[in-house]
Structure 1
Amino acid sequence: MLPPGIIAHAARLGEVRIRDLMSAQPGRAAGLLISHAGIELDLSKQRLDPPALTALTGHLETLDFHARRDALLSGGIVNASEGRPALHTAYRHGARVQGSDAEHLVDETQAQTRAFATRVRGGDFRPAGKPVSRVINIGIGGSDLGPRLVADALADHAGAGPELRFVASLDPSDLQHAVAGADPETLLFIIASKSFSTQETLMNGQAARDWLAGHVGAAQSGRHFAAASAARDKAVAFGIASDNVFDFPDWVGGRYSVWSAVGLSLEIGLGPDVFAAFRDGARSMDEHFATAPLARNLPVVKALVDFWNRNLLGHPSRCVAAYSARLGLLPGYLQQLEMESLGKSVTANGEPAPLPGGALVWGGCGTEVQHSFFQWLHQGGDVTPVDFIGIASHFASDDPRERVLAANMAAQGAALLDGVQLPAGDDPALAAQRSMPGGRISSVLLLDALTPATLGALLALHEHKVFVESVLYGINPFDQWGVELGKVLTKGILDGELSRYDASTRAMLARTGFVSD
């Protein structure tokens, strides 16, 4: 349960005007500003003050946070339900696993993927006698969302390299789009699946292989594939050469896997040096998370604020508004990272959770979203905290479009904060409709510039933020049993075992012709 002291702070601050906090705290803007690794977090528009933040930090310490963080970073069993560590940080050398089998595997795999990526980019890997011109990543969930986000975010840093495309959906049009216009002899497919049995990924892989076989022959089609998987035998049985299967161990969760061999498509498309800089930025955030005082620790403070808004101020969702076209996929990536990790109502001990779990995460790319759901944010009956994510260099840009983009981001935060109250005048109804209540909270995350390093730091910040929240909730953020149930029920439908399903589901399947009456 929540300590009475924190509840008292929430009662004190719950209705206070943020403008009044600003007036009463002349140093508020500087005191609620934290930065590291080219990222600045501004919390001055949050309904929060230093005493409340101190109380939240103290509460975290009572939950044995330091020991839990050390267990995470040193390879302890932090995923108890599956008996595994969560060592995604090892792939950016941010874990304390020197001399371990995990470190050896990471070093070996990174050397292998770098060498393979260099061969492909240099034109030396020629599955059909021609250099590879397009790489198509086949995966789903974290094996798709992470690589897809990074490829889009860092496209301006790629230089000369194969084109990157992605396939995740079982809708056949997804694969059709990925191969459209390509010379089949210049394609390389990468299957990213830890078990090499994920239904969507394997079916898309088989469809890609069948399509290739019609162009290069069945005997040659396997040459056009590589894989990131823990199931080397299954990948080889699929037709992939063993040397082109790169380890994706079970102690790396899918939504944390972009740093591992799952990032092979990125290492090829962006280049090994760009991918290494991306990992380096994440490692810097790892070190900050491990050593910075909690009150000045970016992931810790961001987690405390999100926990405060969700559980003390009662805001069930958070909007992520990314004011960069290159970060347009970030809200979807964070949606999976946070909601798959924190969307749980049972503690790690199997008890009903006393708190409702993490917030709903949603959002989009500004300024586009200003013309869609920002109406709801400004005047809707629900209050939703907003994370504005922007690029600091846009504010001083010589390009007027970037300056207008930056000004829009700043203006939206100010508008949410202050609102506007119009005098009734001759038309009270119109004045009321044009007024906005204000008092709506937001944070700003500013990247100095969008580089491989700052993107890596930004993603690592949110990974660690999720872990901190999991400690506050007492849940395991590294399993996802809710996802597994749907897979089991899908298999039952495909196997025709329909007696266990409700009448509505059976009727829909019959009505659509999926099964006969």
Structure 2
Amino acid sequence: MENLNDNKYFLLLKEYFIKNRADLNLKNMFKVDGRFARYSETMIGPGGRILIDYSKNFLNKDIFDLLINLAKSRNVEGMIKSMFKGDKINSTEKRAVLHVALRNLKKFPMSVDNMNVMDSVFKELDHMERFSDEILSGKWKGYTGKPITDIVNIGIGGSHLGPYMVTEALKPYAKLGMSVHFVSNIDGSDLFQVLKKVSTDQTMFIVASKTFTTQETITNAISARKWFLEAAKDAKHIEKHFVAVSTNKKKVEEFGMAKENMFVMWDVSFFIW
């Protein structure tokens, strides 16, 4: 496929913007009747209605038509179909891009290297649901027999920003009495400020690292484990208070976590816990 900077429609978009940037004023655009209806869509799925509103972008008929032509010239529709088929469309890493498998509520087959990934995906999602239910119901007890009241996520990049985003977005639906904290900075003060707010016997740490070797994440996880053991005394209690999102079972078990408390992350996708 040609370089984007050489694409005819991309060059036309750049040219159009340079010539018309002074006229691209959103307030004036909204004075035209029907803009919202013209540049928004409502989709209905298993989870309810989703509004996609792109009316508040610098978009008019000329720009819209150029964008559609650009998408066609770059085979966006074909690439979407390839993604759902499990083709390795991530050309730099030569991997499939199957985060969509985690949202495949209808469970239609999705394959990578001729293997349907949906069985393993739903097995892991069921695992996550059971664990979450135990924590939220109070059935899961810490080493002193008390329920968990605080969740501390330790991770960086997507292992921090994804969970943080969804936690913030779903705050109105959160269970009262359950607090979620995030640690991503290798500077010890980040972890220290969180640990001041929680108790060892009612805190669950989620260590999110695909390889379980990410320096910032593992450094913070080791510090959290040291803090925990100063109170808990016995390493056998680690499995009640630490779980992992990773692919490296060996490293997870060496840390002291139970293998059944590891949530699998695949090479083909990353997911929000």
Fold-level match, TM-score > 0.5?
A: yes
Higher helix share goes to which structure?
1
> Does the alignment pair 1:193 with 2:238?
no
Aligned to 1:52: 63
Deviation at 1:219, TM superposition (A): 2.1
The number of equivalent residue pairs is 254
- What is the deviation of 1:236? 0.6
Q: Which residue type is aligned with residue 211 of structure 2?
A: S
1:125 paired with 2:132, answer no
Matched, 1:102 2:80: no
Report the 3-state secondary structure (helix = DSSP H, G, I; strand = E; otherwise coil) of the residue aligned with 2:133. helix
Residue aligned with 2:53, SS: strand
TM-score where L is the length of structure 2: 0.82
Kindly report which structure 2 residues correspond to 1:465-476, keeping only aligned pairs within 5 A, or say none: none
**Which residue is 1:229 aligned to?**
246
Structure 1 residues 180 and 44: alpha-carbon distance in aligned structure 2, compared to 1, 3 A threshold: closer
Q: CA RMSD in A?
A: 2.5
Equivalence for 2:174: 158
Distance 1:62 1:112 in 2: 42
Any conservation in 2 of the 1:209–1:221 contact (CA below 8 Å)? no
Q: Which one of 53, 57, 82 corresponds to residue 93 of structure 2?
A: 82
- The change in CA–CA distance for 1:226 and 1:45 in structure 2 (over 3 A counts) is closer
Q: Is the 8 A contact 2:35 2:55 kept in 1?
A: no
Q: Counterpart amino acid of 2:129?
A: R
Task: State the shift of 1:68 in Å.
Answer: 0.9
Alignment partner of 1:240: what SS?
coil
- The 1:29–1:194 alpha-carbon spacing in structure 2 relative to 1, beyond 3 Å, is closer
Find the aligned partners of 2:36 and 2:135 in 1 and give their Cα distance.
49
- Distance between the aligned counterparts of 1:217 and 1:194, measured in 2? 28
Q: CA offset at residue 119 of structure 1?
A: 1.4
Structure 1 equivalent of residue 3 of structure 2: none
| d(CA) in 1 for partners of 2:162, 2:75 | 31
Alpha-carbon distance between aligned partners in 2 of 1:219 and 1:29, rounded to the nearest angstrom = 59
Aligned ranges 1:234-249 → 2 under 5 Å: 234-249=251-266
* Aligned with 2:53 (options 41, 47, 52): 41
**Aligned-pair identity (%):** 26
Tell me, in whole angstroms, the C-alpha distance in 2 between the residues paired with 1:29 and 1:134: 42
Alpha-carbon distance change, 213 to 26 in structure 1, aligned in 2, over 3 angstroms: closer
Aligned residue number for residue 46 of structure 2: none
Q: Which amino acid aligns with 1:170?
A: I
Structure 2 match to 1:111: 126
1:75–1:96 Cα contact (<8 Å) kept: no
Alignment partner, residue 267 of structure 1: none
Contact 1:74 1:96 in 2 (8 A): no
- What secondary structure is seen at the aligned counterpart in 1 of 2:23? coil
- Displacement of 1:63: 1.6
Q: CA deviation at 1:218?
A: 3.8
Q: Is the 8 A contact 1:90 1:97 kept in 2?
A: no
Contact 2:36 2:53 in 1 (8 A): no
Q: Partner residue of 2:269?
A: 252
Query: Per-residue CA shift, 1:138-174, capped at 9, x if unaligned?
Result: 1111111111122122222112453211111112122
Shift, 1:20, TM fit:
6.9
Query: SS at the partner of 2:117?
Result: helix
Deviates more, 1:12-21 or 1:225-234: 12-21
* Secondary structure, aligned partner of 2:244: strand
Equivalents in 1 of 2:188, 2:55: separation in Å?
Answer: 45
- Of structures 1 and 2, the one with the larger relative CO (CA 8 A, separation 6+) is 1
1:80 match: secondary structure: coil
Give 1:101 deviation, angstroms: 3.7
| Larger gyration radius, structure 1 or structure 2 | 1
- Provide structure 1 residue ranges, at least 5 long, that are not aligned to the other structure: 264-517
Cα separation, 1, equivalents of 2:116 and 2:178: 33
Q: Specify whether residues 50 and 17 from structure 1 end up closer, same or farther in structure 2 by C-alpha distance, changes over 3 A only.
A: closer
